[in-house]
Homo-oligomer: A and B are copies of this chain.
Amino acid sequence: MSYRGAMNARVRSEERRAEIVRAALEVIAERGYRGASLAAVAERVGLTQQGLLHYFPTKDALLVAVLEERDQWDAVPDTRWRVDLLASLVEYNAMRPGIIQTFSALLGESVTEGHPARQYFTERYTQVRASMAAVLRTEYGERLPNGLTPERTAPLLVAVMDGLQYQWLLDPQSVDMPGAFRDFLRLLGEDPHREDPDREDPD
């Protein structure tokens, strides 16, 4: 094969992998990981199961690629995060229910026995709590206005983001996820007696 031919083949192969990963994200959103089959992913991209195995030899290998994909998207260097960007992230998440559904389903499954994503989520949360504590420290110093340290506040921040996602996915009409998250940020840091004039009560 010529150099150009080899390059083209490699680009096509990478495009194909990316296409398979996107299909896997969809299938996991619909069925969870344990409910997902390689056959369903293969069908979605017009491959035989055997053809799919050429790109990803096992279902777990495909899951690893899915998890890496997410890390790539959401990678923001720790030093670049700010509290107001978190509110923007939640706004952004509200525009991509598919991907939030994939990862909410995976997080739920990850607490079951021997799940292949368990270690990923355990390590991810350790790292995310540390990042969030750093963000809070940059914004507020050693104590937040409410008296808590950044390290004690970080798990609450992460919990609110995750918990709101479930409520919102189940009932997007009733749950204003970005608005609720801004309320939480207000609990953390702002003058408690100042009102947000832009937001209505939900009922």
Residues of A within 8 A of B (CB): 29-32, 34-35, 101, 104-113, 118, 121-122, 125-126, 129, 145-149, 151-153, 155-156, 158-164, 166-167, 169-171, 174-175, 180, 183-184, 186-188, 192-195, 199, 201-203
Partner of A107, one of B34, B147, B166, B183: B166
CA of A195 to CA of B174 in the docked complex: distance in angstroms? 36
Give the complex CA separation of A17 and B122 in angstroms.
36
Contacts of A105 in B (CB 8 A): 108-109, 111-112
Docked pose: A111 CA to B151 CA in angstroms: 30
Q: A146-B186, A148-B186 are in contact. List 12 more A-B contacts (CB 8 A).
A: A30-B112, A34-B35, A104-B111, A105-B111, A126-B174, A148-B187, A152-B183, A152-B199, A155-B180, A160-B160, A160-B163, A163-B163
Given contacts A34-B31, A112-B30, contact A201 B152 (CB under 8 A): yes
**Cβ contacts under 8 Å, A107 to chain B:** 108, 166
